[in-house]
Amino acid sequence: MTIEELIVYGKKYTNSAHAKMLLASFLSVNPLELLTMLDKEVPTNTINIYKKSLEALKANRPIQYVIGHVNFYGSKFIVNENVLIPRFETEELVEYIKSYLITKKIKKPKILDLGCGSGVIGLSLKKFFEEAEVTLTDISNEALEVAKTNAKNLNLKVKFILSDWFSNIKEEKYDIIVSNPPYIETNEEIEEIVKNNEPHLALYGGIDGLDCYKKILKDINKYLKDSYLVAFEIDYLKGEKLKNIIENTIPNSKVINKKDLSNKDRMIFVEKNND
């Protein structure tokens, strides 16, 4: 079968964009390149993998898990059912931290990524700040294995710790502590494709969705340098509640709610208040 025939075949199972994305990933080309090679014959083994993957998409499995990787902040990251699928909003979180480090001119920052999942946050920061000392933690061994694979593939040397938030972290001081913790409420209705595929351990944050933030903030002061940045990704409806908790747990701090590109409060940043 040709590329054009396979795209037409794929549309029986999924939308055109996903059909092209899937086929392009197996042919190691950009989806746009497919349009320049529509008459090219595809090897039988690739056809079989493509058809099998279309069945998985039809069964409502996320395309990121079917392909097995995502592009995040310019790098290719392996993902599977043991880790959350990185979202675009998280790239904005990384961008803010990057800007902070450049502005503060911190030459060798110590960075702690709590609940790292696939490692996209901590590893992206390590990629841009080679001299940074980056530690990635997660409560899930399986998630850490994914993050370790990504670090190896990207040739990045970082430290990994199996830990339930700070439970296995020595009392070191960090310039940056960042986390995108579980924040979905226990009884909250979410998309079936998310609920049925992504790890619940990384999704749900208790009755009010704030359990993980409370656990982190309870101990965080012991791990902050005199000058610091704490960065959280958040549920856009919980910004004010979380801001109040932070102001009561991190003394003399400046708390900033940041909107994402969709104009929703999706990030909170905490700095030392020098006023």
Q: Nearest Cα to 210, choosing from 244, 176, 177?
A: 244
What secondary structure letter does DSSP report for 266? E
CA neighbours closer than 13 Å in the CB half-sphere of residue 273: 10
Tell me the pLDDT tens digit for each residue of 27-52: 988 888 888 889 999 999 999 999 99
User: Please, which residues bridge with residue 76 across strands?
Assistant: 71
Q: Are 158 and 125 in contact (CB under 8 A)?
A: no
Residues in CB range of 167: below 8 A, 6 or more apart:
none
**CA angle, residues 233, 165, 184, in degrees to nearest 5:** 40
Strands 75-78 and 69-72 turn out to be: antiparallel
Q: Is the pLDDT of residue 274 over 80?
A: no
pTM of the prediction?
A: 0.91
Pick from 132-136, 143-147, 257-261: least confident: 257-261
